Structure 1
Amino acid sequence: MSEHILIAGATGLVGFAAMKHFAEKGYKVTALSRRKPFETFGATHIPLDLTDRDACAEAMSGMGDVTRLVYAALHEKPGLVAGWLEADQIETNRRMLENLFDPLEKSAPGLRHVSLLQGTKAYGAHVRPIAVPARENRDEMKEQPNFYWEQEDYIRAKQQGRDWRWTIFRPQIIFGFSLGAAMNLIPAIGVYGALLKEEGKPLAFPGGRGSVLEAVDADLLAEAMAWAGARRDAGNEIFNVTNGDVFVWRNVWPAIADALGMEAGPDAPLSLGKEMPNRAEAWDAIRTRYNLAAPDIDSFVGESFHYADFTMAYGAERETPAAIVSTVALRRAGFGTVIDTEEMFRKYFRLFQEKRLLPPA
């Protein structure tokens, strides 16, 4: 049977990577998002607001041959972190999935697989120290309200008695290619670095007393989704997914600085979420000077300056608890792709430079 992959959230980190992966493999791909992706790689793009139930019903009526859904759409609120605990953010994300999937399931009798995203907030990483390493189906914090549980319960209920399968992925900090995403640290760090470089300054580390973390390359995550969709024994399972190593921000900072053509500087704590929006005119001057294709600072970075503050532990005077998850379940199931996190940083900064979204190194 020929495959038709439907990607929801195609301008986000995961959706963009999944669209690229499947389209370059020659699959028929339909990409959904409110904004048009930076590139489509031959995929068909349909502009769609998933909060509009009628628009979703109309769009899904023409998706009768869809075989796989990658659901990577996400609603985040301004300021990002506070919204993770707010009821309306949870409700909106639940409703977006329902708006899309209710009509899709009715229209696509050949549906075989659904990929759904969660993350380490499933273990309460945003509100408490988590078990190290956190394991699937053992260390969840289901007493903490989270749209993950709303979406997971919905998909589990829908799947009862059906032939299609689902797989839930829980990545750690995701890095990849996207513009205006809520949680993409590559443009956030890139803009911060470009502003310092123009002033003749080194790349100072703006965070606080962080700890050991794990990253995941969005391309690796897309490969994992493709793998799961092709294997029945990966269906109806939950998998943590990471690059396969760990990192500490200060330890990778010299490599990041080098990728930007800079020297690593001393610690200089700074809330990027508060300060960087004030540098919009300076970023515009850099865009002009280097003839960049990058948009204005808000459209380019989205809410990711706030995410940088969170992940880099800005303001933390003590070392924050380690956030490490076990990927044993994924490895035992047969997915073994890994990437060195330092190489991943270099890869994405180089890509943003090649696309003229950041100044050349």
Structure 2
Amino acid sequence: MPSVIVTGATGILGRNPQKWPTMHALSRSTKEDYPSSVIHNHIDLTSALKFTGALSLKRVILVTGAKLYGVHLGAPKNSMCESDPWLIAPHRLPNPYYRQQDTLHNFCARHSISWVVTYPNDVIGFAEGNFINLGTTLGLYAAMTKELGTELVFPGSERFYVGFDSFTCSKLHARFCVWAALEPRAAGQAFNAVNGDVESWQTLWPKLAKRFGLRVKSDQFAKPPGKDGAVMELVEKPPVADMAAERRRSRDALEKATWGFLGFVLGRNYDLVIDMSKARKLGWIGYVDTWDALSEVFGELQEAKVLAKTQ
């Protein structure tokens, strides 16, 4: 029976391997354990790629992201489709995802290996010690708001609050990768890989507040004189960081969470609508409700004692 190799296996997308006869998880990190069904090897691929020729590879799945569409640069063309041209121009900085795909295409052509590329966006998931993700940072922000006894203010732009975004549940993406690895018609194709719904924070934010026993501030976008209402100033050491030793993991999370990442994601002033038609036409039927994905991640964070359990 064939086996699967997952690289970057402790990352937010790599840590969700699906059932397979034999699964090898490769990573430089040693920050978490895997079930006995997964063979986890700690390895630096940059020094091990020369041994690739010893493997009999059938298909390579490369995970990139919607930055391919320039979503990190400003307003993209909506909806975003896989056939959209790459943003290559003298005034554009090089996009590493383009180089990765070119390298993959050339390698697979030389060795007669098939390939698939996925484009997830604004990933929702849990990974031990990985705080550069939306669910963890949002959960910590809500937990601090509750500790301060204040109302929940959206720490982003009013335009994005009422706009639209497309998210990717990490577990759904893992299932998508299995489909992409086994579907013959997927070979040599790149696919958007998002949940299937298009959400707005004006819907998600009240649900987030209710999940943590909070209220949304009614005038959250009012701008005090001389202040930008879209900027939420966070103290360097919030009160929750002074909790007892048993909350050590929460304090560690506060120090490692990337608040700038949350500010970027929520501070955008444009929509992100990502089309899933291409994969649907080839038989992909996976779907996850974005709020359900967020709520599940909050539960995992609470079980891991990164977040305190809500009363």
Matched, 1:237 2:189: yes
The one of 296, 305, 308 equivalent to 1:347 is: 296
Query: How do 1:267-278 residues align onto structure 2 when only pairs under 5 Å count?
Result: 267=220, 269=229, 271=231, 275=234, 278=236
Measured against aligned partners, the alpha-carbon deviations of 1:129-169 in whole angstroms (never above 9, x if no partner) come to 21111111224313341110111111100111534211100
Matched, 1:49 2:40: no
Measured against aligned partners, the alpha-carbon deviations of 1:32-59 in whole angstroms (never above 9, x if no partner) come to 2222243412322222334xx4xx32xx
**Counterpart for residue 237 of structure 2:** 279
Query: How do 1:97-116 residues align onto structure 2 when only pairs under 5 Å count?
Result: 100=49, 102-104=50-52, 106-109=53-56, 111-116=57-62
Higher helix proportion (structure 1 or 2): 1
Query: How do 1:173-184 residues align onto structure 2 when only pairs under 5 Å count?
Result: 173-181=122-130, 183-184=132-133
| Distance (Å, rounded) in 2 between the aligned partners of 1:216 and 1:259 | 20
**Counterpart for residue 226 of structure 2:** none
**Counterpart for residue 248 of structure 1:** 200
SS at match of 2:262: helix
- Show structure 1 runs of 4+ deviating over 6 A: none
| Distance (Å, rounded) in 2 between the aligned partners of 1:154 and 1:45 | 26
Matched, 1:296 2:296: no
| Distance (Å, rounded) in 1 between the aligned partners of 2:140 and 2:66 | 26
| Distance (Å, rounded) in 1 between the aligned partners of 2:175 and 2:248 | 30
Query: How do 1:114-193 residues align onto structure 2 when only pairs under 5 Å count?
Result: 114-143=60-89, 144=92, 145-181=94-130, 183-193=132-142
**Counterpart for residue 80 of structure 1:** none
Contact 2:240-2:251 within 8 A present in 1 as well: no
**Counterpart for residue 5 of structure 2:** 6
Shift of 1:270: 6.3
Taking a change above 3 Å as real, the CA distance of residues 343 and 287 of structure 1, as seen in their structure-2 partners, is: farther
| Distance (Å, rounded) in 1 between the aligned partners of 2:276 and 2:243 | 41
| Distance (Å, rounded) in 1 between the aligned partners of 2:195 and 2:211 | 19
Name structure 2 gaps, 5 residues minimum. 222-228
The one of 225, 237, 260 equivalent to 1:306 is: 260
SS at match of 1:238: strand
Contact 1:287-1:293 within 8 A present in 2 as well: no
SS at match of 2:13: helix
Contact 1:214-1:246 within 8 A present in 2 as well: yes
Q: How many residues align?
A: 295
**Counterpart for residue 14 of structure 2:** 15
* 1:107 alignment partner AA: A
Taking a change above 3 Å as real, the CA distance of residues 135 and 250 of structure 1, as seen in their structure-2 partners, is: same
Contact 1:255-1:346 within 8 A present in 2 as well: no
SS at match of 2:118: strand
The one of 27, 38, 45 equivalent to 2:32 is: 38
| Distance (Å, rounded) in 1 between the aligned partners of 2:111 and 2:230 | 51
Contact 1:167-1:236 within 8 A present in 2 as well: yes
SS at match of 1:229: helix
| Distance (Å, rounded) in 2 between the aligned partners of 1:49 and 1:284 | 34
**TM-score w.r.t. length of structure 1:** 0.75
Contact 2:122-2:134 within 8 A present in 1 as well: no
SS at match of 1:132: coil
Measured against aligned partners, the alpha-carbon deviations of 1:104-138 in whole angstroms (never above 9, x if no partner) come to 2x1102x1111112222111122232111111122
**Counterpart for residue 214 of structure 1:** 166
Over the matched positions of the two proteins, sequence identity in percent amounts to: 24
**Counterpart for residue 224 of structure 2:** none
| Distance (Å, rounded) in 1 between the aligned partners of 2:151 and 2:60 | 45
Contact 2:147-2:240 within 8 A present in 1 as well: no
Contact 2:131-2:256 within 8 A present in 1 as well: no
**Counterpart for residue 154 of structure 2:** 205
| Distance (Å, rounded) in 2 between the aligned partners of 1:108 and 1:254 | 50
Contact 2:241-2:250 within 8 A present in 1 as well: no
Shift of 1:311: 1.1
| Distance (Å, rounded) in 1 between the aligned partners of 2:284 and 2:298 | 26
CA RMSD across the alignment: 2.3
| Distance (Å, rounded) in 2 between the aligned partners of 1:175 and 1:287 | 29
